[in-house]
Amino acid sequence: MEKLYIVIPAYNEEANIEKVVRQWHQVACQTGPEARLVVVNDGSRDGTAQKLEALARELPALIPLTKPNGGHGSACLFGYRYALEQGADYIFQTDSDGQTLPEEFAPFWEQRAGYDLVIGRRVHRGDGFSRWVVTKVLKYVTLFFLRAYTADPNTPYRLMKRDFLARCLELIPENFFLPNVLIAAFAARMDLPVLSLPVSFLPRQGGVNSLNLARIFRIGLKAVGDFRRVDRALRRQGL
């Protein structure tokens, strides 16, 4: 039976984590008895870790992991590597802020066999105009510096085949801040089978977003340099 691991990074999500975990735990269990929900606590300073420990005593498919704070990308990579080490056949990633809908997962799972990557395309957004602008800019930065077009490269709603993700991780620099962007770009650049499905994106359901526009701008400047280095490395490998 195919084994699904759902990976959710979490940082200071005490207000959201219980609801999000219960929703996605149910999704995981519906796909099979070996499915797991992996929540990576990225050095939270609130009660996120304690809530996860309590939930793990109740929910059998939940695996809470804790690592030092390194950012969203670092937490995703940590969870991806863990899932691959545990023999996951498919890895799905979403976020812990309650902005994505578990009920939209079923079409992703139904289409899994035909695609290396089934990725969401946020069409109903409640996270504000500034974040919409960031997504648009990131799309064209990815096109220009990585020579790969994707409609929504950083969307936190993606289902990945094991072999595809393992290959991507070999190409992604350690602790890269935007690994999901690279994963989407690699699939497009290598002309692999990718399916884009529309997904909703709600307003944050609680807590405080750790990103502001100033930090996003700094991340963007760093990403330009990182993308250039990745592009040169890919060219050396003939990709």
pLDDT at 230 over 80: no
| pLDDT recorded at residue 213 | 56
Q: Please tell me whether the overall predicted TM-score, pTM, comes out greater than 0.85 for this model.
A: yes
Going by pLDDT thresholds of 50, 70 and 90, the confidence category of residue 127 is low
pLDDT at 193 over 70: yes
Mean pLDDT of the chain: 88
| pLDDT recorded at residue 141 | 76
Domains of the chain, start order: 4-236 (3.90.550.10)
pLDDT at 117 over 80: yes
| pLDDT recorded at residue 232 | 81
| 77, amino acid identity | L
